[in-house]
Amino acid sequence: DGGITQSPKYLFRKEGQNVTLSCEQNLNHDAMYWYRQDPGQGLRLIYYSQIVNDFQKGDIAEGYSVSREKKESFPLTVTSAQKNPTAFYLCASSNPGQETQYFGPGTRLLVL
Amino acid sequence: LAKTTQPISMDSYEGQEVNITCSHNNIATNDYITWYQQFPSQGPRFIIQGYKTKVTNEVASLFIPADRKSSTLSLPRVSLSDTAVYYCLGRMDSSYKLIFGSGTRLLVRP
């Protein structure tokens, strides 16, 4: 089956800890995206990547980092600098220039 | 960067037609207008996309006037399972960033 997978489904972070959220796609899409969603709110763009080894900051990149070493993978690290990380994180992919994005099931991050 | 504007919430009853309108005054000339559906704790799901006039698929219709400053998603004969948040979005400039607003929370009652 083609699609986007995210893991884990739930993730717990301790104070001062960095955590990494996984996103993998087998749709052969060039572009990948990370969004953050807070309760009752829309999606906000954290980072996006249009091609391997290249990525751009979105609207709320502070406290986050990404890498794009492979076309199918776009992991997101939530660093200790992100003071309010509790949220639902969504990964998406598309072909550049297309508005249709395909989303993964999401990872819910909670702070202990 | 311009955003989309939608009603915060709408109520309906099973079997009714629901129309959700979105304004996007500054949408780029070449951009399509796309609508997504999201259930709680799930990723958004693509519903329909159009450029102008009317587009219809198996789940919805999309009406876009000639000036393209707004669009209307039409859901025929809604059921309880259509209760969700609906987002319209477009790319508001030449970047690859899509603009998600707060969406419209549709509640379908029995």
Q: What distance in Å separates residue B101's CA from the closest CA in chain A?
A: 5
pLDDT tens readout for residues B26-43: 777 777 888 999 999 999
Phi-psi region of B53 (alpha: psi -120 to 50; beta: other; left: phi over 0): left
A13-53 per-position pLDDT tens digit = 888 899 999 999 999 999 999 999 998 888 999 999 989 99
Cβ–Cβ under 8 Å, residues A34 and A48: yes
Interchain CB contact of B89 with A (< 8 Å): yes
Contact status of B57 with chain A (Cβ, < 8 Å)? no
Cite the beta strand spans of B5-100 per DSSP E.
Answer: 9-13, 18-23, 33-38, 45-50, 53-56, 61-64, 70-75, 84-89
Whether the ω angle into residue A105 lies within 30 degrees of 0, i.e. cis, is: no
Give chain B's residues under pLDDT 70. 1-2, 91-97
Q: Does A44 sit within 8 Å of B100, measured CB to CB?
A: yes
Q: How far is CA A90 from the centre of its chain?
A: 6
Q: What is the mean pLDDT of chain B?
A: 88
Amino acid occupying residue B52: K
Nearest CA in chain A to B31: A99
Report the distance separating Cα B70 and Cα A49, nearest Å.
Answer: 29
